[in-house]
Chain A
Amino acid sequence: NAGVTQTPKFQVLKTGQSMTLQCAQDMNHEYMSWYRQDPGMGLRLIHYSVGAGITDQGEVPNGYNVSRSTTEDFPLRLLSAAPSQTSVYFCASSSRANEQFFGPGTRLTVL
């Protein structure tokens, strides 16, 4: 099993550009989440999903969209990137409310 995979590992965007961060898991987990990590702020929940077709907002959802068309995939879309979205993004999956398995992260810089 590959676990949780994220692509790309690094990305540089210009303000106003859009992009999609990819996340996939092969553990048949129902729950998937997106977090952003900034120095001194810990991990902040952006969006999460408890199953295919179901998504909900976390602590900091503004500027981000998600969809969950399959159990395996949970992409995160930045519609119009802003410098405030410079961060490290982690995707995680879990079986119900159990331990979360994290991907390796995507380091995003918005100029």
Chain B
Amino acid sequence: GQQVMQIPQYQHVQEGEDFTTYCNSSTTLSNIQWYKQRPGGHPVFLIQLVKSGEVKKQKRLTFQFGEAKKNSSLHITATQTTDVGTYFCAGSDNQGGKLIFGQGTELSVKP
């Protein structure tokens, strides 16, 4: 079945450093979504990518969808303490409503 792998599992950075998390799917995806979960909270939607090679930016966050639509990345420039949390990618290989999440990358930021 469809699998979504995400690395690294943990990332500890100094405030101001950059951060990247990578997501790989075992199957071609119709779209990929990214979520952020603060400690003790629930996942909150960040963005959805649909097109092959798509790149989207949200302030310091840059999201990419691979040409083959099987991988994606999230890059944060100059991390801040407010970026702390776990970042999840989630992919769907059809339009049938089944969204499979990666294991998540837990980001900690040292002031």
| Interface positions of B from 58 to 111, Cβ below 8 Å from A | 88, 90, 92, 95-104
Interfacial chain B residues near A97, Cβ < 8 Å: 30-31, 92, 95-97, 99
Interfacial chain A residues near B43, Cβ < 8 Å: 43, 90, 92, 100, 102
Query: Smallest CB-CB separation from B4: which chain A residue?
Result: A42
Which of B30, B44, B101 has a CB less than 8 Å from the CB of A42? B101
Interfacial chain A residues near B96, Cβ < 8 Å: 50, 56, 97
Give the size of the chain A interface in residues (CB under 8 angstroms). 29
Interfacial chain A residues near B44, Cβ < 8 Å: 102
Interfacial chain A residues near B100, Cβ < 8 Å: 45, 59
CB distance from B105 to the nearest CB of A (A): 10
CA distance A30 to B95 in the complex (A): 13
Interfacial chain A residues near B25, Cβ < 8 Å: none
Interfacial chain B residues near A103, Cβ < 8 Å: 42
Contact B42 A42 (CB under 8 A): no
CA distance A68 to B95 in the complex (A): 19
CA distance A59 to B48 in the complex (A): 22
Which of A33, A42, A44, A99 has a CB less than 8 Å from the CB of B33? A99
B interface footprint on A1-45 (CB within 8 Å = 1, 0 otherwise):
000000000000000000000000000001101010000111111
| Interface positions of B from 20 to 47, Cβ below 8 Å from A | 30-31, 33, 35, 42-45
User: A-contacting residues of B (Cβ < 8 Å)?
Assistant: 1, 6, 9, 30-31, 33, 35, 42-45, 48, 88, 90, 92, 95-104
User: B-contacting residues of A (Cβ < 8 Å)?
Assistant: 30-31, 33, 35, 40-45, 48-50, 56, 58-59, 90, 92, 94, 96-105
